Structure 1
């Protein structure tokens, strides 16, 4: 008899048993008899997890007096080992296994061969199904597969009858409990403590036995078609639109999606009598067991991809396609996902979303750019996070240390809470700075502005007391859109931002896409060929080539700022002619709207981002033509050091207080003296207290930083004497110390200025 035929024979009989009105114990007694007779097995037993122990619940072949008497701990004996490891055992001679344990009251001493499979629900063992024979022999593969299929159906019967401990009970925690610490890649710094919520909620399979096998087969065929269609569409999505790692993932997805072996195994499971959902889950369980035996990390990754694809297929066939965002977060939550797009992140309630944990993710992913703007800590590359974390688990996300603690011990939680208390106390101090103007001790007014990119960021202007928005990243609207945003949508956003800002200035940076912010709907051959995208077809270079893109944005900004002052800044300008070309696009739109008798801005102030070092050599030409210059320290530093900021191996070479960087910035400051041009810094450098102190030392008087950093930097400014730090910086840059960072820290400590 084949595995399919054996399983179908058992399931047909089980269907009648499950539909009968007999009590649960009676049903289990019938089940062991059915399995034993069909597989011609002398012993068949069912152990269920009760109060943390595996209790013999029903048996054919062992002493009936042992039922509800024999109890084994998780990991104890062969049965306990199966439950603990969620693995199958198939032994010709049970006594030779190192975990073998003789249980005298069962009368099993005459039986030599042994096979057992876990009874699994929601990826956790709730029991074990075993068979035994007197004759020493390994069980055939068809017998093992039949047992595995039956165990899956038994899980439903056991769950419905409430016979076994399940998730949430003390007993169920026994096999998978206690604190675990995972490490990952720091994507966005920060601390968070909250309960785990899965972005893609787990599918609960309510019915395992099929009423109509052909109908179930058709459901799977349709689901496969839809899944393959989705994968083909992925190639055009932002998260999969970049050469490299995501392309490899996509190719693996395609390989599995069109793999006949995988679809055949699912069909065989349906043939045995399972529903479409149960068949997919049955094959998935088999895959998980194989994964536990694989040592090759590369092969493990590919198996994880198959797991992810199976989850996708399961959601399609069950019709449960929504994410946790559509259901709404019920409390403070840390989101768990394989990967995430920026638009998906924005669907969540920002008040309740405290952090994000990704199994994949990279420093340049779009979702990281948005999360950083939202102030949400993100940890990426956390291997098997979805396998080790349960829905509702308490998590401690330490983005600063690149660690995730699952189910923390009380002392760890107390220490983490103490850090939070200290942070809250500091935040209260910083919040009190909201209405305080940031003057240095010698009376110099420092402008402390904030960066933004989302409509939801604007309320932070009044909450932080920032002087304005020194950088509004217009590309966020492009990143979260499936297609190029239409002019009316852009105009609405810009007008809303200006309305919300009131009298405070807003500097709009024209779209900065390309490079690490590639968009699938703005592809070109040149973008695909960039070996170093950060220095390739991006930002203003892209906008000038796609002049229609810049024209639409120019018109949107001009119309949105009607009757007000419009501040426009062009990114990644490397020579003055690029600035002139971009300004000409805006001026042509001004002329067009004037002809149309549209209301124009009362003034347009043009500025540039100084990120490309070559522009510093042309300051004498550029300065008379612009109203403001903003130094983009993120890109500038990687260009100066030839060190990719996304590469963790180069992190130590990416030091913002290096004498080389500070000398460069001081030269830029000197190049603007005597001109009516405003010079500032926007980027992460200005939002860190030690780095901000260094910027004040070279003469920078305008900072545009994340909203969360406004209070801390205001507080710092009020403790600094510009003349004093300026003199110290002049000495250091003339004769650089061995460690500039240490010199700054020591200087600050002597004056009781906290810079950490």
Structure 2
């Protein structure tokens, strides 16, 4: 056979001419198999295309012409079906020896022994198969297979552009695959949403596959490599990629691929065969994807995914198709599809159009999840093979409550989903009607229901929900979405805007809670090693006290922003009273400095602490005289009490929030500060769940700080609860714990017509 590169280039030039002609589609294919067969010195060359879910023989040189449009095979059937089904190459000296061989007498192929076939891949899916055969038994040389794969890649684009496969086949979908499909994942943020699929990083469209000037295409790739390497080196020089750990591992992998001469050489060889720069990169990636399907080692598979990311970066650079879907704007209700996402990237999208997010990766403690929850955007994570199932523009129904998403739903599925959505809207409308109603129990007890926030855009929810105030403003959000440490002036503007938006309603600012699962890449610990237990490590107030400049800047920003108003400041993760004293001393020093500058000062400053570390409960007699309020942070408190990492999926459902141990702990905290003038609130997801909120009311909690979406449901719940009844029941259960506290609560609520779903 001729040299692979030379023969491939000759074939590509001829193919381009054939497909550009005005001949009918069938005539074009008949000429194509002659061109490929002649160029590869093959006795047989056949093209099978996917039509109506079957692989149909569309054109052949060497086999019986009577078999054209007659011979059809399903995906996975015969050698051709195996190639398409597995998206793999077969190279056989004796075709009949393969276990998947299927003899079709109408083709007249019984005199041919050797067989080589490659998938015709379009948009990462097999839309057909290109195969060659010889009478002599022999395996084809690697250079021959390379030439065949290169030709198949260009053929796929030409076939699609010529309309030889319909739109569904152009996406590589069988009849079954073009129908509805349900995906399962991990619920990261609950909620229901519908919209069209939008890829965060849109697929690069390859408009031209055959190069007119090979040297010009080579220079384009070289320039793109140089730019990409500059980007990687620039990232390496930035502070956020210092200090070891995961950031450095990702960076080192990227650098390895960016400077991999083997990868560059393979792309260069593809260009030599006659491909454009974009088509050459895609050609090499097709080969990589085929290898990925054969890898069982998770670590190696991850590295191959990293190479895929780098190839996409190179493709966007060389094509000039930069930017994410956010830069183009959302034109309709959308479900965002991404491998992973950062909080700043999420905030770039129009909140009015962004209805949900589905991630191939993602974790419960990822920064983007924190922001998405604040935005009220449902998120489903860890959806394997997402891009292999969903196409751009597909209709999607996201049910993050159940951990599922349905793509291309049938009318019946959509109707059922919409009915559930409608029931949710009815409930939301009923809850919204309680906006101006004071949250009181059935027996008239006033409960303070506040909401959590962390973004300037959250503030309108205060009026929409009728919450009593902001019980927790997470100041770290501004830090999480910034590439560098936010300047004091920026912090001051944010805090002032929040106070002005709140009006007469109180706002409790929690000083920055970073570190642990909310690590900032630009703020590193001196110890370069990874923390084995980040949730119990260098985080929250511990960071602020060590990096005193950080707390000083925030203290001054808060004090200046609250000039003429009441300032509520809460310190996170206080373990012992001396930590509270040290943090308050920073504020006192800044207050003294501002007085000296004759700045307008807050009318009143109320200090509080978050009780997340169980040890603090033993020191409340010392701390209580120093504070105005105490907030029990149930998210962290629960994992510390049970020594159970809340990010570990194996433990996620193991320990119950209505466990007697937690409720006894909270009841004891309330008793220890009783009569000491300290407002005690429960802050966290626990207070926003109706059954858990019922239990909290039963142990004496009268202040809740919850998500905006939970305010209405909790207000409605309170109207049905008699505090005397639930208190009496709870005292009995805590004194003699039942086998299942949850089951007892559900039965108690059900008997009184209280819905605690």
1:681-706 CA-partner distances (Å, limit 9, x unpaired): 11111001111111111111110000
1:528-572 CA-partner distances (Å, limit 9, x unpaired): 453322122211121122111111111211222222221111111
TM-superposed deviation, 1:475? 0.3
CA distance in 2, matches of 1:235, 1:358: 26
TM-superposed deviation, 1:260? 2.9
Contact map agreement 1:641 1:653 (CA 8 A) in 2: no
Three-state SS of the structure 2 residue aligned to 1:704 is strand
Contact map agreement 2:52 2:174 (CA 8 A) in 1: no
Query: Which residues in structure 2 correspond to 1:98-113 (within 5 Å)?
Result: 98-113=99-114
TM-superposed deviation, 1:365? 1.3
TM-superposed deviation, 1:379? 2.1
Contact map agreement 1:114 1:132 (CA 8 A) in 2: yes
Classify 1:737/1:323 alpha carbon distance in 2 versus 1 (closer, same or farther; 3 Å). same
Q: Residue 493 of structure 2 aligns with which residue? A: 492
Bigger drift between 332-341 and 241-250 goes to 241-250
Contact map agreement 1:484 1:521 (CA 8 A) in 2: yes
Q: Residue 713 of structure 1 aligns with which residue? A: 714
Q: Residue 637 of structure 2 aligns with which residue? A: 636
1:342 aligns with 2:332: no
Q: Residue 609 of structure 2 aligns with which residue? A: 608
Classify 1:211/1:446 alpha carbon distance in 2 versus 1 (closer, same or farther; 3 Å). same
Give unpaired runs (5+ residues) of structure 2.
Answer: none
Bigger drift between 243-252 and 530-539 goes to 243-252
CA distance in 2, matches of 1:236, 1:738: 57
Three-state SS of the structure 2 residue aligned to 1:320 is coil
Q: Residue 372 of structure 1 aligns with which residue? A: 373
Classify 1:95/1:653 alpha carbon distance in 2 versus 1 (closer, same or farther; 3 Å). closer
1:661-717 CA-partner distances (Å, limit 9, x unpaired): 111111211122222221111111100111111111111111000000000100111
1:187 aligns with 2:188: yes
TM-superposed deviation, 1:93? 3.2
1:133-174 CA-partner distances (Å, limit 9, x unpaired): 222322222112111101111223223322222348899443
TM-superposed deviation, 1:732? 1.8
Bigger drift between 414-423 and 305-314 goes to 414-423
Contact map agreement 1:243 1:528 (CA 8 A) in 2: yes
1:422 aligns with 2:423: yes
Classify 1:531/1:124 alpha carbon distance in 2 versus 1 (closer, same or farther; 3 Å). closer
Three-state SS of the structure 2 residue aligned to 1:132 is strand
TM-superposed deviation, 1:352? 2.3
Three-state SS of the structure 2 residue aligned to 1:648 is coil
1:17-44 CA-partner distances (Å, limit 9, x unpaired): 4555656555444432222222111222
Classify 1:62/1:520 alpha carbon distance in 2 versus 1 (closer, same or farther; 3 Å). same
Q: Residue 747 of structure 2 aligns with which residue? A: 746
TM-superposed deviation, 1:425? 2.3
Classify 1:238/1:174 alpha carbon distance in 2 versus 1 (closer, same or farther; 3 Å). farther
Classify 1:50/1:637 alpha carbon distance in 2 versus 1 (closer, same or farther; 3 Å). closer
Classify 1:451/1:743 alpha carbon distance in 2 versus 1 (closer, same or farther; 3 Å). same
Q: Residue 450 of structure 1 aligns with which residue? A: 451
Contact map agreement 1:88 1:118 (CA 8 A) in 2: yes
Q: Residue 300 of structure 1 aligns with which residue? A: 301
Contact map agreement 1:74 1:175 (CA 8 A) in 2: no
CA distance in 1, matches of 2:732, 2:437: 32
TM-superposed deviation, 1:518? 0.7
TM-superposed deviation, 1:176? 3.2
Contact map agreement 2:50 2:169 (CA 8 A) in 1: no
TM-superposed deviation, 1:75? 4.7
Q: Residue 88 of structure 1 aligns with which residue? A: 89
TM-superposed deviation, 1:459? 0.9
Contact map agreement 2:441 2:721 (CA 8 A) in 1: yes
Bigger drift between 696-705 and 38-47 goes to 38-47
TM-superposed deviation, 1:387? 2.4
Contact map agreement 2:196 2:333 (CA 8 A) in 1: yes
1:532 aligns with 2:552: no
Classify 1:3/1:175 alpha carbon distance in 2 versus 1 (closer, same or farther; 3 Å). farther
Q: Residue 381 of structure 1 aligns with which residue? A: 382
Q: Residue 692 of structure 1 aligns with which residue? A: 693
Q: Residue 596 of structure 1 aligns with which residue? A: 597
Q: Residue 117 of structure 2 aligns with which residue? A: 116
Q: Residue 220 of structure 1 aligns with which residue? A: 221
Classify 1:20/1:398 alpha carbon distance in 2 versus 1 (closer, same or farther; 3 Å). closer
Contact map agreement 2:374 2:707 (CA 8 A) in 1: yes
Q: Residue 4 of structure 1 aligns with which residue? A: 5
Contact map agreement 2:122 2:172 (CA 8 A) in 1: no
Q: Residue 44 of structure 2 aligns with which residue? A: 43
1:366-409 CA-partner distances (Å, limit 9, x unpaired): 11111122222222222221223222233333333333333345
CA distance in 2, matches of 1:749, 1:399: 26
Three-state SS of the structure 2 residue aligned to 1:630 is strand
Contact map agreement 2:127 2:170 (CA 8 A) in 1: no
CA distance in 1, matches of 2:240, 2:392: 25
Bigger drift between 32-41 and 15-24 goes to 15-24
TM-superposed deviation, 1:271? 1.4
Query: Which residues in structure 2 correspond to 1:326-337 (within 5 Å)?
Result: 326-337=327-338
TM-superposed deviation, 1:102? 4.4
CA distance in 2, matches of 1:250, 1:170: 33
Contact map agreement 1:332 1:352 (CA 8 A) in 2: yes
Bigger drift between 452-461 and 233-242 goes to 233-242
Query: Which residues in structure 2 correspond to 1:581-592 (within 5 Å)?
Result: 581-592=582-593
Q: Residue 469 of structure 1 aligns with which residue? A: 470
CA distance in 1, matches of 2:53, 2:742: 55
Classify 1:14/1:651 alpha carbon distance in 2 versus 1 (closer, same or farther; 3 Å). closer
Residue correspondences, number: 756
CA distance in 2, matches of 1:158, 1:651: 50
CA distance in 1, matches of 2:171, 2:403: 30
Q: Residue 176 of structure 1 aligns with which residue? A: 177
Bigger drift between 124-133 and 265-274 goes to 124-133
Q: Residue 352 of structure 2 aligns with which residue? A: 351
Q: Residue 619 of structure 2 aligns with which residue? A: 618
Classify 1:468/1:715 alpha carbon distance in 2 versus 1 (closer, same or farther; 3 Å). same
Contact map agreement 1:623 1:677 (CA 8 A) in 2: yes
CA distance in 1, matches of 2:216, 2:544: 53
Classify 1:433/1:169 alpha carbon distance in 2 versus 1 (closer, same or farther; 3 Å). farther
Classify 1:79/1:413 alpha carbon distance in 2 versus 1 (closer, same or farther; 3 Å). same
Contact map agreement 1:183 1:382 (CA 8 A) in 2: yes
CA distance in 1, matches of 2:81, 2:189: 42
CA distance in 1, matches of 2:435, 2:528: 44
Classify 1:733/1:282 alpha carbon distance in 2 versus 1 (closer, same or farther; 3 Å). same
Q: Residue 270 of structure 2 aligns with which residue? A: 269
CA distance in 2, matches of 1:526, 1:237: 18
CA distance in 2, matches of 1:650, 1:239: 31
TM-superposed deviation, 1:660? 1.6
Contact map agreement 2:431 2:716 (CA 8 A) in 1: yes
Give unpaired runs (5+ residues) of structure 1.
Answer: none
Three-state SS of the structure 1 residue aligned to 2:650 is helix
CA distance in 1, matches of 2:478, 2:615: 30
Q: Residue 315 of structure 1 aligns with which residue? A: 316
CA distance in 1, matches of 2:469, 2:527: 37
CA distance in 1, matches of 2:425, 2:238: 39
Q: Residue 580 of structure 1 aligns with which residue? A: 581
Classify 1:425/1:554 alpha carbon distance in 2 versus 1 (closer, same or farther; 3 Å). same
TM-superposed deviation, 1:516? 0.9
Classify 1:193/1:332 alpha carbon distance in 2 versus 1 (closer, same or farther; 3 Å). same
TM-superposed deviation, 1:204? 1.0
Three-state SS of the structure 2 residue aligned to 1:522 is coil
Three-state SS of the structure 1 residue aligned to 2:127 is strand
TM-superposed deviation, 1:250? 4.4
TM-superposed deviation, 1:201? 0.7
TM-score (norm. length: structure 1)? 0.94
1:700-741 CA-partner distances (Å, limit 9, x unpaired): 111000000000100111111222222222222222222222
TM-superposed deviation, 1:69? 5.6
CA distance in 1, matches of 2:172, 2:490: 54
Contact map agreement 1:90 1:114 (CA 8 A) in 2: yes
Bigger drift between 689-698 and 729-738 goes to 729-738
